[in-house]
């Protein structure tokens, strides 16, 4: 039960922060989802750092990993919103934004995870 509460609390904080980042960075006039992109990249970097710390000398407990990686990062990042925003790009015929957003999200997201792990190792 304690583990569920940790994931719940972490996810709640992550979701609220993602909402605020989206409100701050998303611009309805141009339709580019900068907030979702930023949340996913920052979340990727954070999960790399968190799991890198966990792997380095077991410096984080299982409960801390559940709170931070599973809960917070899981709530902060959002694949469903990413998928929906891509649907909107395709539906409107904006294939270039679809391609740029999708490719940049995957490449920069992976690089952010690797960077987070690398930062912890050095």
pTM listed for this prediction = 0.88
Assess whether pLDDT exceeds 90 at residue 29: no
As a whole number, mean pLDDT of residues 70-76 equals 95
Percent of the chain with pLDDT over 90: 86
pLDDT tens digits along 43-65: 999 999 999 999 888 889 999 99
With CA atoms as reference, report the closest residue to 71 among 2, 17, 15.
Answer: 15
Place of tokens 């984080």: 60
The pLDDT of 18-45, averaged and rounded, is 92
CA 43 to chain centre: 3
Q: Say if residues 89 and 97 touch (Cβ distance below 8 Å).
A: yes
Mean pLDDT of all residues in the chain? 94
How many of the other CB atoms lie within 10 Å of CB of 31? 13
pLDDT at 122 over 90: no
């Amino acid at each position: 039960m304690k583990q569920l509460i940790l994931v719940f609390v972490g996810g709640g904080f992550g979701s609220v922060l993602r909402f605020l980042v989206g409100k701050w960075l998303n611009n309805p006039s141009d339709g580019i989802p900068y907030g979702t992109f930023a949340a996913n990249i920052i979340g990727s970097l954070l999960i790399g750092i968190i799991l890198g710390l966990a792997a380095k000398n077991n410096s984080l407990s299982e409960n801390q990993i559940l709170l931070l990686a599973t809960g917070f990062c899981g709530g902060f990042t959002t694949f469903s919103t990413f998928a929906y925003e891509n649907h909107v790009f395709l539906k409107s015929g904006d294939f270039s934004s679809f391609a740029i957003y999708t490719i940049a999200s995957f490449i920069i997201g992976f690089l952010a995870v690797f960077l987070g792990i690398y930062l912890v190792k050095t």
